[in-house]
Amino acid sequence: MFAKTDPTMADVWGMALGPALLDFHAPRQWRALTVRPTYEQKAADFLKTERQWVYWPCFVDQVHAGGHRRGQCRVRRAVFRAVMPGYLFLAVHPDSGDPWSCVHATPGITGFVRDGGGHAAALTDRDIDIIRMIEAGLNLPHDPMKAHRHKPGDKVRFVDDTYSRWPPSIVRRLAEDGRIVLETLLLGRIVPILAYPHQIEAM
């Protein structure tokens, strides 16, 4: 279904474990794919079946499952929510071209983030590491009633961005579940990111 020029997971492993005995961690870059809202998981699952290295930052959320009750407790169910709504990240070899085949063949994907030259913009492993740490923090227990001083319009930075790679973020709104919706300038565009108050600090 995909063009043969696009690297698959097998290609990446082949470059890492080929006859030349290259480093186990083959060089790679990450492309940011834009996805229709609520289609992130479906698109990620589809790409995985096509043997693509794809990363969907997500966290588990507990939601009400109707009005039924068991004893005194309302029935709840776990759902996966996006840390960065509308985005997936595709791992590719640095020499690969724009991921047009993924855009055309994958349900829900609308395009990819471009750089100033019109080609696919690239994220590094360090950028992905920051996103992974934000994702890990969102999957830990948190008290939504815990007090904090963040308010809409505040300029903040991510605690996990130890190298200060990302520019300051802006607090857009405070969610009822205790999470904070941030707007971050990433890859030349404003990207929404969810975080808990303890994951950010004022600047």
Query: Given pLDDT bands bounded at 50, 70 and 90, which one contains residue 72?
Result: low
Torsion of CA 139, 195, 87, 56, to 10 degrees: -10
Query: Given pLDDT bands bounded at 50, 70 and 90, which one contains residue 58?
Result: very high
CATH topology of domain 1-123: Alpha-Beta Plaits (3.30.70)
Task: Match domain 143-203 to its CATH number in 2.30.30.30, 3.90.1560.10, 2.60.120.260, 1.10.10.10.
Answer: 2.30.30.30
Domain boundaries, the chain: 1-123, 143-203
Q: Is the pLDDT of residue 189 over 60?
A: yes
- The residue with greater pLDDT, 4 or 128, is 128
Confidence at residue 110, expressed as pLDDT on a 0 to 100 scale: 95
Confidence at residue 79, expressed as pLDDT on a 0 to 100 scale: 82
Cβ atoms of 51 and 2 within 8 Å: the answer is no
Confidence at residue 20, expressed as pLDDT on a 0 to 100 scale: 35
Each residue's pLDDT tens digit, 192-201 = 999 999 999 9
Which residues lie closer than 8 Å to 56 by C-beta, 6 or more apart? 40, 41, 44, 82, 88, 89
Which of 3-12, 115-124, 151-160, 169-178 is predicted least confidently? 3-12
Q: Is the pLDDT of residue 93 over 80?
A: yes
Cβ atoms of 93 and 28 within 8 Å: the answer is yes
Tokens 């991921």 appear where? 99
Per cent of the chain over pLDDT 70 is 80
Which residues lie closer than 8 Å to 107 by C-beta, 6 or more apart? 39, 42, 43, 46
Q: What is the pTM for the complete model shown?
A: 0.78
Cβ atoms of 179 and 194 within 8 Å: the answer is yes
CA distance 128 to 68: 40
